[in-house]
Amino acid sequence: MNISILAAAAVAATLIAGATQADEVEDLKKRIEKLEKAEVGAKKADWASKISFKGDFRYRHENIDREESATDRTRHRMRARFGLTGKVTDTVKATVRLATGGGGNDPRSTNQTLGDGLDRKDVAIDQAFVQWAPWDGVEFYAGKMPQPWESVGSYFWDGDITPEGGAMTFENGAFFGSAFGFWLSESSSGSDATMSGAQVGMKGETGGVKLKAALGYYDVGAVRNRITTAATGCSPMGAFVGGPQGNTTVSTSGCVRLANDFNLIEALAEAQFRLGAQPFTVFLNYLQNQDASALDTGYSAGFKYGKASNPGTWEFGYAYQSMDKDAQFGQFVDSDFGDGVTDTKGSVVKVAYAPAKNWTLSGTYFMNQRFVDVGAERDYDRLQLDMIFKY
């Protein structure tokens, strides 16, 4: 055989083998690229699955009628809240929520009043906390968080308050409870104002009736004899927003100071059952300040018939409440009932309708009296018409 032919055949075989290897290498590169892209996509999907978002928007028409005022006040307000929760580990989550109303520094309100020259509206951190669940039914919280205690339909506590500090909650069978310690005002030159306490209770169901009952203790420390109201030479403690909010005060050296501490005992009970075709809830709530010698008791009772949740559903509710002048630390009471102060009593009527999922129309009418214990009693009426959207 001709040597040149053999040489040519050998060269051709080498080229074919090289080409085959090059194709294999190129194919391998493409497969690696696909795997890398798939891994990146999986990581992105995994990150997204660890984050959840939640928010709501409320538009409100409000009319306020104070008997001692010559004119009523009518205003429109909005509230917007947006939060996200991230899964850090299998037992740890972190939450951050923003809300309107940050410019007023009012812990009892996330509302923003419209009509101030078309200005930009303030937004601030409403919640920022970490949540650790080391065991089933046990959770620890640290930061600025939702209220860790159970409540009912009374107006003892303003729902916009997000306490700051640490808390623990537990639930085991029928039993539940919480323990907590919060800072109200940190001071570099004096005692810090704090609130600490605990709540224990039981939940259960019998004969188609869901029952809940709890007993709580709340110790508001280092607020007695502290300045509540700004004046010349008088700087109020940071725990007092807008003054004493109805609590008894004394005047010392020209400064208005809080007369009492607040060691609060609270009892609550609630029952839920079907009344005809609609759910029905009835509640009782009792509060007493152990550190006040008089005017130390608050109580509330009410009901809700129906539930505005699914499209076409509705609800109707009523509550009556009486809050003595020193029954509750004034900074905690609901900011709408009686204009957000103690020394009040009266009724609240509420109706709501859900035209669509996550959309509620509601109306709330406060028929209250203020200065019930001290001073001349005055009527206080407040009407709120709301559109609420959740997302």
In angstroms, rounded to a whole number, what is the distance separating the alpha carbons of residues 323 and 345? 6
Same domain, 66 and 42: no
Same domain, 40 and 143: no
* Burial class of residue 220 in the structure, from the number of CB atoms within 10 Å of its CB (0-12 exposed, 13-18 middle, 19+ buried): buried
Give, as one character, the DSSP assignment of residue 15. Answer: H
Residue 303's DSSP bridge partners are 282, 318
The domain in which residue 18 lies consists of: 1-49
Identity at 15, one-letter amino acid code: L
Same domain, 24 and 69: no
Q: φ, ψ for residue 300 (rounded to 5)?
A: -150, 150
In angstroms, rounded to a whole number, what is the distance separating the alpha carbons of residues 64 and 321? 19
Same domain, 197 and 324: yes
Identity at 18, one-letter amino acid code: G
pLDDT tens digit string along 247-297?
999 999 899 999 999 999 999 999 999 999 999 999 999 999 999 999 999
CB 43 within 8 A of CB 37: no
CB 367 within 8 A of CB 261: no
What pLDDT does 29 receive? 79
Q: Characterise 194 by phi-psi region: left (phi > 0), alpha (psi -120 to 50), beta (else).
A: beta
What pLDDT does 198 receive? 98
Same domain, 95 and 3: no
Same domain, 17 and 54: no
Alpha helix positions (H), 107-202: none
pLDDT tens digit string along 319-378?
999 999 999 999 999 999 999 999 999 999 999 999 999 999 999 999 999 999 999 999
Q: In the numeric block, which tokens belong to residue 300?
A: 């509330």
Coil, helix or strand at residue 211: strand
* Burial class of residue 309 in the structure, from the number of CB atoms within 10 Å of its CB (0-12 exposed, 13-18 middle, 19+ buried): middle
In angstroms, rounded to a whole number, what is the distance separating the alpha carbons of residues 333 and 135? 34
Residue appearing with tokens 């005060």: 249
Residue 383's DSSP bridge partners are 63, 365
Q: In the numeric block, which tokens belong to residue 187?
A: 């001071």
In angstroms, rounded to a whole number, what is the distance separating the alpha carbons of residues 250 and 105? 26
CB 126 within 8 A of CB 98: yes
* Burial class of residue 25 in the structure, from the number of CB atoms within 10 Å of its CB (0-12 exposed, 13-18 middle, 19+ buried): exposed
Q: How many domains does the chain have?
A: 2
Same domain, 43 and 60: no
Identity at 180, one-letter amino acid code: F
Q: Characterise 374 by phi-psi region: left (phi > 0), alpha (psi -120 to 50), beta (else).
A: beta
Residue 385's DSSP bridge partners are 61, 363
Residue appearing with tokens 């700004």: 230
| Domain CATH code at residue 76 | 2.40.160.10
Q: In the numeric block, which tokens belong to residue 312?
A: 């076409």
- pLDDT by residue for the chain (391 residues), tens only, comes to 555 555 555 545 555 555 566 677 778 778 878 777 777 666 666 777 899 999 999 999 999 999 999 999 999 999 999 999 999 999 999 999 999 987 778 999 999 999 989 999 999 999 999 999 999 999 999 999 999 999 999 999 999 999 999 999 999 999 999 999 999 999 877 789 999 999 999 999 999 999 999 999 999 999 999 999 999 999 999 999 999 999 999 999 899 999 999 999 999 999 999 999 999 999 999 999 999 999 999 999 999 999 999 999 999 999 999 999 999 999 999 999 999 999 999 999 999 999 999 999 999 999 999 999 999 999 999 999 999 999 9
Same domain, 70 and 9: no
What pLDDT does 303 receive? 98
What pLDDT does 35 receive? 76
In angstroms, rounded to a whole number, what is the distance separating the alpha carbons of residues 318 and 251? 39
Same domain, 115 and 57: yes
What pLDDT does 20 receive? 63
What pLDDT does 70 receive? 94
Q: In the numeric block, which tokens belong to residue 319?
A: 């509550």
**CA quadruple 140, 216, 176, 161: dihedral positive or negative?**
negative
Give, as one character, the DSSP assignment of residue 275. Answer: E
Same domain, 130 and 276: yes
Same domain, 26 and 109: no
Cβ-count burial 187-196 (b if 16+ within 10 Å, e if not): eeeeeebbbe
Same domain, 326 and 368: yes
CB 166 within 8 A of CB 140: yes
Pairing of strands 73-87, 51-66: antiparallel
In angstroms, rounded to a whole number, what is the distance separating the alpha carbons of residues 328 and 378? 20
Residues 143, 147, 150: CA angle, nearest 5 degrees: 145
